[in-house]
């Protein structure tokens, strides 16, 4: 086994003049074109989803959905993506690339047809959840096949930043594209577009590719803890329900939230019991004992809480106060992309060129969040042009572009094996994509509502019959005009004030304390077949 591993690890790469060869591509496809086909395929998967927030206004205008309903469907998609991470490498060694990509494309196409025509929340939740699974499976299959093209030495200090160029471009560009299609056509046409891109994926796989699996002896899925995975899924959906609908239903004053909280505790207890006592759990809890895994999850939670201001306060500002239409709002958000690219470039310089410790890099990211909140606090007003917010949007994009690849790289450096890394990605993305986002949304909507009600009561005490001319006072026009908008702006500034202090405290901690953390030398990861052989050998032992 050791000699085979050493032989494969030292196998010379193909000559540079021949280009990067992909064994799943048919021989007549030019080598220089092969990896770019998979880059385009990965973008197709990343632009897909179950529901599209860029068309939020159009969806609410033609259906009876509230913003909370659409947000819950979004988190159902993210839950499907997060929960499937432990299965990614198992599926890669069980099925061929053609089976995985074609199945993912067909599933996403069917789910988009369902979300386009169905108005039933239970049906939509299931469709969005399954679409999230297919989305992450298709993206992983594409990126794992071109990993050696991106970095022949499997240097994750290069791979993760490049990966996030694709991911973040799709996140921001997908919202803009959905808004553009909804503005010029209808919101359903975004789903039609997704069905078209999935048809393109099917066509390229049938015409250009052939079945290929890196393992001659297929990996068996027997023994997978599907019951544990199901318990985790239900728990995640219950948690997101509490955070998304909490402010709307007045939290635990509502019977629905109390019941959801009780069921969450029950399912969380059952999940924990199964993960502890099952011989082969879906996720191994001993992963939390690995070096720096818990600190990384804590930093991720704090970062998502800080970035929650963007998801909530900017939506309130642009939609409720300024009254921007969806396309203009998404065009405004696109200015985050240059900041994200700058953050990714700094990651490459920091992790690849100098191999410095990451805690000060994380401090720079929180410092950019502080600068973003400070600019928003000082800029928000009644007579402000939206162009004045663009620098702040670039700064928050810069911070996000630093944190996302850095924390994923740190997680890879902190776990001893590739299998545990995928389980770590499950925990990381539960916090990063799912739990942290839902928690931030619930937290900021609640604190904003508190400040708004408090400011309205404070101002209302000053409105007495002695200083009001009731014969000329239109209360409806007064409440629906500039008064309500000014009160909302005050509440937004108050929340941004707390974000300023929170992000400044975190930036100070990471910048002033040089904590020994993730080792700076890059760990070499074996080729996919080598990893599979070693993994199966360990199972037999």
Tokens of 420: 């545990």
Residues 214 and 229 in one domain: no
Residue 532 lies in a domain: no
How many independent structural domains does the chain possess? Answer: 3
Residue 4 lies in a domain: no
Residue 14 lies in a domain: no
Residues 255 and 315 in one domain: no
Residues 65 and 145 in one domain: yes
Residues 513 and 383 in one domain: yes
The residue behind tokens 């702040």 is 392
Residues 6 or more apart in contact with residue 80 via CB below 8 angstroms = 128, 129, 130, 131, 132, 133, 135, 136, 233
Return the pLDDT at 493.
87
Residues 273 and 341 in one domain: no
What is d(CA 33, CA 139) in angstroms, rounded to the nearest whole number? 18
Residues 134 and 260 in one domain: no
Q: With left for phi above 0 and alpha for psi between -120 and 50, is residue 468 left, alpha or beta?
A: beta
Residue 330 lies in a domain: yes
Per-residue pLDDT of the chain (541 residues; tens, 9 = 90+): 333 334 334 444 444 444 567 888 888 888 888 888 888 999 989 888 878 777 777 777 777 788 888 888 888 888 888 888 888 878 888 888 888 899 999 999 999 999 888 888 888 889 989 998 999 998 888 888 888 888 888 778 888 888 889 888 888 888 888 888 888 888 888 888 999 999 999 999 888 888 887 766 667 777 778 888 888 888 888 888 888 888 788 888 888 888 988 998 998 888 888 888 887 788 777 777 777 888 888 888 888 888 877 777 888 888 777 777 888 888 888 888 999 999 999 888 888 877 777 778 888 899 999 999 999 888 887 777 888 888 989 998 999 889 888 888 888 888 777 667 777 778 887 877 766 677 777 778 888 887 777 777 766 655 554 555 555 545 555 555 566 677 788 888 888 888 899 889 988 888 776 544 444 444 444 555 665 666 566 655 5
Give me the CATH number covering residue 382. 1.20.1250.20
Residue 489 near residue 381, CB atoms below 8 Å: yes
Q: What is the CB neighbour count within 10 angstroms for residue 501? A: 11
Residues 274 and 303 in one domain: no
**Helices 188-208 and 156-184: angle between axes, nearest 10 degrees:** 130
Q: Sign of torsion, CA 396 398 401 404?
A: negative
Return the pLDDT at 16.
41
pTM of the model: 0.83
Residues 58 and 170 in one domain: yes
Whole-number Cα distances in Å, 158 to 215, 232, 362, 397: 26, 32, 17, 19
Residues 6 or more apart in contact with residue 235 via CB below 8 angstroms = 264, 267, 268, 271
Domain endpoint, select from 203, 221, 239: 221
Return the pLDDT at 541.
55
Residue 504 near residue 340, CB atoms below 8 Å: no
Return the pLDDT at 522.
41
Residue 497 lies in a domain: yes
What is d(CA 131, CA 465) in angstroms, rounded to the nearest whole number? 58
Give me the CATH number covering residue 96. 1.20.1250
Return the pLDDT at 83.
85
Residues 179 and 254 in one domain: no
Return the pLDDT at 203.
92
Domain that holds residue 250: 225-281
What is d(CA 443, CA 316) in angstroms, rounded to the nearest whole number? 14
The residue behind tokens 């019959």 is 465
Residue 217 near residue 91, CB atoms below 8 Å: no
What is d(CA 39, CA 173) in angstroms, rounded to the nearest whole number? 15
Residues 325 and 440 in one domain: yes
What is d(CA 143, CA 163) in angstroms, rounded to the nearest whole number? 8
Residue 16 lies in a domain: no
Residue 210 lies in a domain: yes
Residues 215 and 297 in one domain: no
**Helices 188-208 and 97-117: angle between axes, nearest 10 degrees:** 160
Whole-number Cα distances in Å, 4 to 7, 23, 90, 211, 530: 5, 20, 21, 25, 8
Domain endpoint, select from 281, 300, 322: 281
Residue 134 near residue 238, CB atoms below 8 Å: no
Q: Is residue 356 classed as helix, strand or coil in its secondary structure? A: coil
What is d(CA 309, CA 400) in angstroms, rounded to the nearest whole number? 13
Residue 443 near residue 502, CB atoms below 8 Å: no
Residues 271 and 353 in one domain: no
Return the pLDDT at 6.
41
Residue 533 lies in a domain: no
């Amino acid at each position: 086994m050791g000699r085979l591993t050493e032989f494969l690890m030292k196998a010379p790469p193909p000559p540079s003049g021949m280009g990067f060869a992909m064994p799943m591509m048919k021989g007549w496809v030019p080598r220089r074109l092969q990896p770019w086909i998979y880059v385009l395929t990965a973008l197709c998967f990343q632009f897909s989803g179950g529901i599209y927030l860029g068309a939020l206004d159009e969806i609410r205008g033609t259906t009876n959905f509230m913003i909370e309903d659409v947000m819950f469907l979004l988190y159902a998609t993210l839950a499907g993506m997060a929960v499937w991470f432990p299965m990614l490498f198992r599926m890669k060694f069980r099925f061929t690339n053609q089976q995985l990509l074609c199945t993912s494309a067909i599933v996403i196409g069917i789910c988009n047809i369902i979300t386009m025509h169905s108005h039933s929340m239970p049906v939509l939740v299931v469709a969005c959840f399954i679409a999230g699974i297919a989305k992450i499976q298709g993206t992983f299959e594409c990126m794992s096949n071109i990993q050696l093209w991106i970095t022949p030495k499997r240097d994750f200090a290069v791979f993760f930043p490049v990966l996030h160029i694709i991911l973040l471009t799709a996140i921001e560009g997908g919202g803009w594209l959905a808004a553009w299609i909804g503005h010029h056509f209808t919101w359903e046409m975004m789903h039609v577009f997704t069905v078209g891109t999935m048809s393109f994926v099917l066509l390229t796989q049938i015409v250009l590719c052939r079945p290929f699996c890196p393992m001659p002896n297929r990996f068996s899925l027997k023994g997978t803890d599907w019951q544990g995975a199901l318990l985790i899924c239900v728990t995640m959906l219950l948690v997101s329900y509490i955070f998304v609908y909490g402010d709307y239903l007045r939290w635990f004053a509502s019977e629905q939230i109390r019941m959801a909280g009780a069921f969450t505790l029950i399912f969380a207890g059952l999940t924990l019991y199964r993960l502890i006592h099952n011989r082969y759990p879906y996720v191994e809890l001993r992963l939390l004992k690995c070096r720096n895994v818990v600190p990384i999850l804590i930093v991720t939670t704090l970062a998502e809480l800080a970035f929650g201001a963007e998801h909530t306060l900017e939506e309130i500002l642009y939609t409720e106060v300024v009254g921007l239409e969806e396309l203009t709002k998404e065009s405004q958000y696109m200015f985050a992309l240059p900041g994200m690219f700058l953050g990714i470039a700094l990651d490459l310089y920091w992790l690849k060129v100098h191999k410095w410790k990451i805690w000060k890099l994380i401090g720079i990211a929180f410092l950019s969040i502080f600068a973003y909140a400070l600019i928003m606090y000082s800029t928000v007003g009644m007579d402000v042009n939206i162009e004045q917010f663009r620098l702040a949007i670039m700064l928050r994009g810069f911070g996000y572009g630093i944190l996302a690849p850095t924390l994923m790289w740190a997680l890879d450096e902190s776990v001893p094996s590739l299998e545990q890394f995928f389980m770590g990605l499950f925990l990381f993305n539960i916090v990063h994509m799912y739990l942290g986002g839902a928690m931030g949304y619930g937290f900021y909507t609640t604190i904003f509502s508190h400040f708004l009600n408090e400011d309205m009561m404070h101002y209302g005490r000053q409105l007495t019959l002695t200083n009001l001319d009731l014969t000329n006072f239109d209360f409806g026009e007064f409440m629906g005009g500039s008064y309500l908008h000014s009160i909302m702006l005050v509440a937004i500034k108050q929340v941004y004030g707390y974000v300023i202090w929170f992000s400044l405290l975190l930036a100070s901690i990471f910048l002033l304390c040089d904590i020994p953390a993730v080792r700076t030398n890059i760990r070499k990861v074996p080729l996919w077949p080598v990893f599979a052989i070693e993994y199966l050998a360990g199972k037999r032992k």
